[in-house]
Amino acid sequence: MAHKAEDISGMDRRSFMAYLSAVGLGGTALWSQEQQQGPISRDMLADAEAVLGLEFTDDERELMLRNMNRNLTSYEALRTHEIPNSVSPAILFDPVLPGMELPTVEREFRYTRAIGVSRPINLEELAFEPVTVLSELIRTKQVSSTELTRMYLARLERHGPTLECVITLTEERALRQARQADAEIARGDYRGALHGIPWGGKDLLTVREYRTTWGAKPYESQQLDDNATVVDRLDEAGAVLIAKLTLGALAQGDVWYGGRTRNPWNLEQGSSGSSAGSASATAAGLVGFSIGSETLGSIVSPATRCGVSALRPTFGRVSRHGAMALSWTMDKLGPLCRSVEDCALVLHAIHGADGKDPTARDVPFNWDPSIRPAQLRIGYLKSAFEQERQEEQQDSREADLRVLDVLRGLGAELIPFSLPDDLPISAMRIILTAEAGAAFNELTMSGRDDELVRQGRGGWPNTFRTAHMIPAVEYIQANRLRTIAMRALESRFDGIDVFVAPSFVGQTLLLTNLTGHPTAVVPNGFRENGTPMSISFIGKLYGDAEALAIAKAYQDGTDFHKRKPAQFVA
């Protein structure tokens, strides 16, 4: 737990000298400085300079003292006001650069219907079917929403403890919604492909009447009287919320206050995170689809580990109102499903402005499942496919190269593509760190960060404390470089609609999270140990439909998404 500023400013001189001695900042030297104007001294400034990579002269430090102590007083005043996590800064990130043209024409939404599908004798055989199949069975009244909901609830109760993927079952709400869906469909009021489909939400989404724990012990009993916009929109689509699923504490990893969420393909592995429960439950056939979130890999990574199809939408495509904030300029919400087209169905229901999240905007999402690779200009990240990998990663390299062969076999003319390589992309991670530190400042200052399960170097408590040492100037500079990176990547999209890249090779994941570009991720094979791998398709800003279309074309040419983890097959 970091020392709070008021721990210093409220001390008398004797106590303050003892404090300085304890932290090794030279109390005796400070004691002799007649021009001392507050708790901060020239010696302390010199030590701080070393931490921040700066160097000033003694005269410059002397001039800075009054302002530094005045700033300290301002910090203390700011900290007297509690700021809920839901309050965003009066600064907005917009991935759309000046002069960029976005789609304006909205076409009729169409999707693939599983014509001729019939109800199985054992209803549990439907557990792994995609929404496109489940929706047709519901639309044709062969299966009721109530039946599906009870089947998935039973599977959650049976397998949830094994996978440690469930925080709260929303059974009462779910059965009420399912009965309503059945009544509406019976009288001919069919709302569309998600009507009556059971789903699970990452437990950073608020739902009235239920806890929203953020996967973290300090918030285990938290109940927020609101619905996230995505929850309301899925309610409007007629979908049935059956569970609030696990996430790594405060959206990091797969370790939460109740355990570690498991990979259905290998229970010795965590499911990765932070959309840990969303990926695990979807892969194990415990929900029809799920909603997760990503700031830096939290959809792509667990989707890869658990072998599901997923979409990290364009930043601003989906409102984050009612979702826990980690980084206001990087957070995104998106679907994790059993097929690419399911992702399109879910995005169609949840996208668009809501008047609550100021970054969310209305841009048409024109899904066309019939688009073929030859109709779009497709790039491939040449350096990443050619890059040599360690011996234990050779199976993923071979799988990645096979993706290119499949695309060429489907008629794609692949264009070599490169990312900006002259910018310090990794250094820009301080943007996330600084914003996360602000989002959970109260947790750090109160000392309740000690309640989080992960306490090591890479855990949030240490990261949040470190965030307090990032200078505001460097945060702004990182964001200015971010603008340069946005321009550089946009220029490389001139001539292509989508590019394909290995999901974790190089800087693609970090760069595209910083720039806000959409990524569709799908399984592209299995390792020798039986666990899944993935490939990513990155689209232009608001080019989610094109990224999904190429991902679907690839997926239709393979069967990796149809395989099931044996332990969870009915």
Helix 340-350, helix 131-139: angle, nearest 10: 70
**Closest-CA residue to 286 (of 126, 124, 132, 127):** 127
- Spatial distance between the Cα atoms of 289 and 349, rounded to a whole number of angstroms: 13
- Which residue shows structure tokens 């990155």? 538
Q: Which residues are catalytic?
A: 202, 274, 298
Cβ distance 404 to 537 under 8 Å?
A: no
- Spatial distance between the Cα atoms of 107 and 181, rounded to a whole number of angstroms: 27
3-state secondary structure of 156: helix
Q: Which residues pair with 539 in a beta bridge?
A: 498
DSSP-assigned letter for residue 329: T
- Spatial distance between the Cα atoms of 95 and 264, rounded to a whole number of angstroms: 36
CA distances 238 to 14, 192, 198, Å, are 67, 8, 9
For the record, the structure tokens of 241 come out as 């919320």
- Spatial distance between the Cα atoms of 106 and 314, rounded to a whole number of angstroms: 17
- Position 340: which residue type? V
**Closest-CA residue to 441 (of 250, 275, 253):** 250
3-state secondary structure of 279: helix
Buried b or exposed e, range 135-149, using 16+ CB within 10 angstroms:
bbbbbbeebbbbbbb
For the record, the structure tokens of 369 come out as 């499942």
**Closest-CA residue to 265 (of 302, 305, 323, 214):** 305
CA distances 480 to 472, 496, 516, Å, are 12, 26, 15
For the record, the structure tokens of 74 come out as 């301002």
Cβ distance 367 to 111 under 8 Å?
A: yes
Q: For residue 274, say if its preceding peptide bond is cis, omega within 30 degrees of 0.
A: yes
What phi and psi values does residue 198 have, to the nearest 5 degrees? -75, 140
- Spatial distance between the Cα atoms of 447 and 23, rounded to a whole number of angstroms: 19
- Spatial distance between the Cα atoms of 166 and 37, rounded to a whole number of angstroms: 55
For the record, the structure tokens of 406 come out as 């499949």
